[in-house]
């Protein structure tokens, strides 16, 4: 393993069977299937030894291949359902590749539902990860719009604050947003980790995680019909930029 010039594989999870937005991973957006923007951003970033799509669908695999990704094997059905955990397909994929004689120091999970993640986004994250000592992984985050200090848990006809902190005379739920501690939520655009977190600990992130602050619409996630409509409006207005798409 080279710490100075580690190898890294892009892993793009794209199972079939999405229910909230039917067939979202291959649904056309601005003239191309959604997954194309992630494959092309990964290619154009220039950092990956290989770009691999994990899918349970031969149709999805063929579409991904047309844009330059690999899909040498399909994901088994038992780890492709709604409740399947990331570690299941990740562990399966890295071990299967290892059996084929293909090993990588690091991996990056790039989900197709983040079409505005650009090659420069990936490059910025990779450079930050390589420069940081003593971390297991990096994960994209953004400042929350709805602060958990103003969230509640309901029990019957009573409710209590989700986070019961702050001084008694000025609890967080009654404090202006600007007076609350900064809190960040993860988004789905990008994760990077050393491969040993999977092989040694069977986790996707390890124990020491560094933040990657996404900018603008880099962390925008398409998961609901409303998100899809908004993505189309952002593209039409020029507010958000898509990676350049090329087929092979």
Q: What is the spatial distance between Cα 67 and Cα 26, in angstroms, rounded to a whole number?
A: 12
Tell me the percentage of the chain whose pLDDT exceeds 70.
97
Indicate the burial class of 99 (C-beta count within 10 angstroms; 0-12, 13-18, 19 or more).
Answer: exposed
What are the tens digits of pLDDT across the range 22-42?
Answer: 789 999 999 999 999 999 999
pLDDT score for 1:
46
Q: Where are the alpha helices (DSSP H) in the chain?
A: 34-45, 58-66, 86-99, 119-131, 196-199, 225-237
Residue 156 — left, alpha, or beta (φ > 0 → left; ψ -120 to 50 → alpha)? left
pTM of the predicted model, to two decimals? 0.93
Place 83 in a pLDDT band, splitting at 50, 70 and 90: confident
What are the tens digits of pLDDT across the range 86-114?
Answer: 999 999 999 999 999 999 999 999 999 99
Average pLDDT, the chain: 94
Residues 30-55 have a mean pLDDT of 98
What does the block give as tokens for 120? 């420069």
C-alpha distance from residue 83 to each of 15, 88, 104 (Å): 12, 11, 27
Domains, in order of start, for the chain? 8-142+185-237 (3.90.550.10), 145-182 (no CATH)
Which of 145, 154, 186, 151 lies closest to 165 in space, CA to CA? 151
What are the tens digits of pLDDT across the range 180-203?
Answer: 999 999 999 999 999 999 999 999
Residues 197-235 as b or e (16 or more Cβ within 10 Å = b): bbeeeebbbbeebbebebeebbbbebeeeebbebbeebb
């Amino acid at each position: 393993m080279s710490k100075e010039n580690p190898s890294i594989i892009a892993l793009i999870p794209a199972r079939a069977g999405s229910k909230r937005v039917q067939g979202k991973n291959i649904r056309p957006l601005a003239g191309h299937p959604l997954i194309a923007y992630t494959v092309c951003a990964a290619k154009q970033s220039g950092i990956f030894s290989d770009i691999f799509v994990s899918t349970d669908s031969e149709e999805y695999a063929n579409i991904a291949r047309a844009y330059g990704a690999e899909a040498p094997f399909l994901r088994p059905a038992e780890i492709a359902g709604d409740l399947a955990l990331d570690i299941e397909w990740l562990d399966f994929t890295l071990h299967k590749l290892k059996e084929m004689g293909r090993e990588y120091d690091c991996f990056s999970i790039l989900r197709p539902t983040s079409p505005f993640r650009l090659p420069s986004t990936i490059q910025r994250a990779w450079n930050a990860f390589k420069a940081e000592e003593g971390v297991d992984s990096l994960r994209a985050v953004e400042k929350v719009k709805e602060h958990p200090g103003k969230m509640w848990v309901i029990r019957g006809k009573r409710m209590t604050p989700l986070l019961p902190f702050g001084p008694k005379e000025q609890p967080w739920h009654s404090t202006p947003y600007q007076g609350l501690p900064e809190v960040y939520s993860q988004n789905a655009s990008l994760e990077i980790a050393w491969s040993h977190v999977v092989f040694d600990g069977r986790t996707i992130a390890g124990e020491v995680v560094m933040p990657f602050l996404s900018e603008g619409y880099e962390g925008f996630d398409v998961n609901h019909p409303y998100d899809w409509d908004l993505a189309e409006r952002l593209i039409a207005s020029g507010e958000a930029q898509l990676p350049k798409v090329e087929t092979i």
